[in-house]
Structure 1
Amino acid sequence: MGTFWIGTGWKMNKTVAETRRYIAALKGLWPEGAGGCTVFVIPPFTALAAAREAIGTMPLLLGAQNMHWAEAGAFTGEISATMLEEFGIDMVELGHSERRQMFGETDAALNMKVKAALRHGLRPLLCVGDSAEERRAGASGEAVVRQVRLAFAGLDAGELGRCLVAYEPIWAIGEGGVAATPEEVRAVHADLHVALKEMGGPAVPVLYGGSVSAGNAADLAAEPMVDGLFVGRAAWTPEGLAGLIAAVAAARA
């Protein structure tokens, strides 16, 4: 059984001071049985430097919420991979449904971002998801496989092996979201694993995200097709993330 990925993206939340307090508290709450888990946090850009300093030697990976594909240039408000490298970033989240819907992020743009991240030694965490309409039509698997194929187009086996995928159903994200059932997660993750294998790379971890909570984390972690959990508000407190890590570790023991 390989490592199980578990982490949280904070979206537009937490100041520098709040970030320092979160990581300091998490350090004191770190579960003893977390050895089989790879844990990560993805703060806003403004808190990355503070997060890196606070993490120190903790076994905690640090990610960024987005990045531009260009090395530099006239892209006001954007952040490049070179800028992220300065903070010792381990990974970068790309393609969240909010970025796709609110900021017009396309599959072609994500393909360029994935390649730029890999060039700079960053691990891309590609988010893919199906809409409620696609779910009703029974097209969830087709929808997310298409997104993966387009975002990872042109990658060789070595590059593909450095990527992560997070399946986040659009209808399951946010305050009013409802988590996918284990059966739904199993089916979509199976489709993703088949497609990724067909693309020629080694096994690519596929995480689930979407209304993950203390109540369903253990059941999701027990699914053979689920390689990790990408958690939202349930992990926005250090107690929440520590509790989820402990639940996952126990479920997989």
Structure 2
Amino acid sequence: MPRTIIAGNWKMYKTQAEAVEFLHEFLPSLDITPETRQVLLCVPFTDLLCLSKNLHGSRVQLGAQNVHWQDQGAFTGEISAPMLTEIGVRYVVIGHSERRQYFGETDTTVNQRLKAAQAHGLTPILCVGESKAQRDAGETETHIMSQLEIGLQGIDQTNLVIAYEPIWAIGTGDTCADTEANRVISMIRSQLTNPEVTIQYGGSVNPQNIDQIMAQPEINGALVGGASLQASSFARIVNYEGA
């Protein structure tokens, strides 16, 4: 069975003081065990060391939001896998639609980042998904299959999480229908060599829809954006009702 993983993606929000304040409210609200549900916080680089110290011994793992494909070098503004693992980071989001849309990320550079993450023992969360124009044109499947074909070349699928994030549903309040998300995630799984890969859904996940999303048989977790910024709402999502 794929492991259930709920990840909060804070994007470019929260100072260190705000992050610690969040933890003080969030951690006592957890009503899960790591054996049944893994919880991650994927936070800005400036928050990583602070959270690493404050999450030590807790039920929550730490994730970063990107990683470079080189261990070191003249890459201003980037961060390497050894820098992340040194401070206790376990997961890293790679290929998020915002990185692709605003910062020129390609399937090829996504693949390079995935390889670097795995080479240093990080578990990458590979994000794939279609835009509204691609969905309206009936290109959802072909676009995602292309992302997977290029992105997963040479990747160890025993140390991998995939997040399906329909771009048109991110931060818009529009959520992909539960059954449609389940269908696309089933298609993604059919393209993998390891059927046990955890595949999350991401796209306006909130406390009101998490139970229905997680009731779908192919969905193994959620990549949560805005709703992960409030301790009470993210706790409700993490403590969703269901197996």
- SS in structure 2 of the partner of residue 71 of structure 1: coil
Which has the larger displacement, 74-83 or 19-28?
Answer: 19-28
Assess if the C-alpha contact under 8 Å between 1:235 and 1:241 holds in 2.
Answer: yes
Q: TM-score, normalised by structure 2?
A: 0.96
Partner of 1:187: 183
For residues 97-129 of structure 1, what are the alpha-carbon distances to aligned partners after superposition, in whole Å with 9 as ceiling and x for unaligned?
110010001111111110000000000000111
CA apart distance, 1:202: 4.8
Structure 2 letter corresponding to 1:212 = V
Q: Is the 8 A contact 2:9 2:43 kept in 1?
A: yes
Match of 2:93 in 1: 93
Match of 2:167 among 170, 173, 177: 170
Q: Does structure 2 conserve the Cα–Cα contact (< 8 Å) formed by 1:34 and 1:245?
A: no
Deviation at 1:242, TM superposition (A): 1.0
Shift in Å, 1:166: 0.3
**1:77 is matched with which residue?**
77
- CA distance in 1 between partners of 2:2 and 2:159 (Å): 15
Q: TM-score, normalised by structure 1?
A: 0.92
The aligned runs of 1:67-146 (5 Å cut-off) are 67-146=67-146
- The answer for the alignment partner of 2:242 in structure 1 is 251
Q: How far apart in 2 are the matches of 1:122 and 1:154?
A: 15
Secondary structure (helix, strand or coil) at the match of 2:26 reads helix
Question: Is the CA contact (8 Å cut-off) linking 1:141 and 1:187 kept in structure 2?
Answer: no
Q: Quick one: structure 1 residues 171 and 70, their matched pair in 2 at CA, closer, same or farther if it must change by over 3 Å?
A: same
- The offset of 1:177, in angstroms, is 3.9
Code of the aligned partner of 2:232: E
Alignment partner, residue 31 of structure 2: 31
Whole-Å separation in 2 of the counterparts to 1:149 and 1:237: 36
Give the Å deviation of 1:139: 2.0
Q: What CA distance in whole angstroms lies between the structure 1 residues aligned with 2:141 and 2:180?
A: 10
Report if aligned partners of 1:34, 1:246 keep a CA contact under 8 Å in 2.
Answer: no
Question: How far is the alpha carbon of 1:86 from its aligned partner?
Answer: 1.3
SS in 1 for 2:105: coil
- Higher share in helix: 1
> What secondary structure is seen at the aligned counterpart in 1 of 2:239?
helix
Listed one character per residue, the Cα deviations across residues 17-71 of structure 1 (whole Å, up to 9, x for unaligned) are: 1111111221211125775211000110000000001111111110000011011
- Structure 1 residue aligned with 2:151: 151
Pairwise CA RMSD: 1.4
Aligned length: 243
Establish whether residue 230 from structure 1 lines up as the match of residue 226 from structure 2: no
1:160 aligns with 2:153: no
CA distance in 2, matches of 1:42, 1:186: 24
Give deviations 1:71-92, integer Å, cap 9, x for gaps.
1111111101111111111010
Using the TM superposition, give the Cα deviation of residue 2 of structure 1 relative to its aligned residue in structure 2, in angstroms: 4.8
**CA shift in 2, pair 1:185/1:32, >3 Å:** closer
Within-5 A mapping of 1:181-220: 181-196=177-192, 200-220=193-213
Give the Å deviation of 1:143. Answer: 1.3
Off by >3 Å, runs of 4+ in structure 1: 32-35
CA distance in 1, matches of 2:5, 2:69: 25
Identity of aligned residues (%): 38
Alignment of 1:46-85 (within 5 A): 46-85=46-85
Q: Which runs of 5+ in 2 are unaligned?
A: none
Cα contact 1:171–1:177 (8 A) shared by 2: no
Deviation at 1:201, TM superposition (A): 3.0
For 2:33 and 2:133, the matched residues in 1 are separated by 40
Residue 237 of structure 1 aligns to which amino acid in structure 2? Q
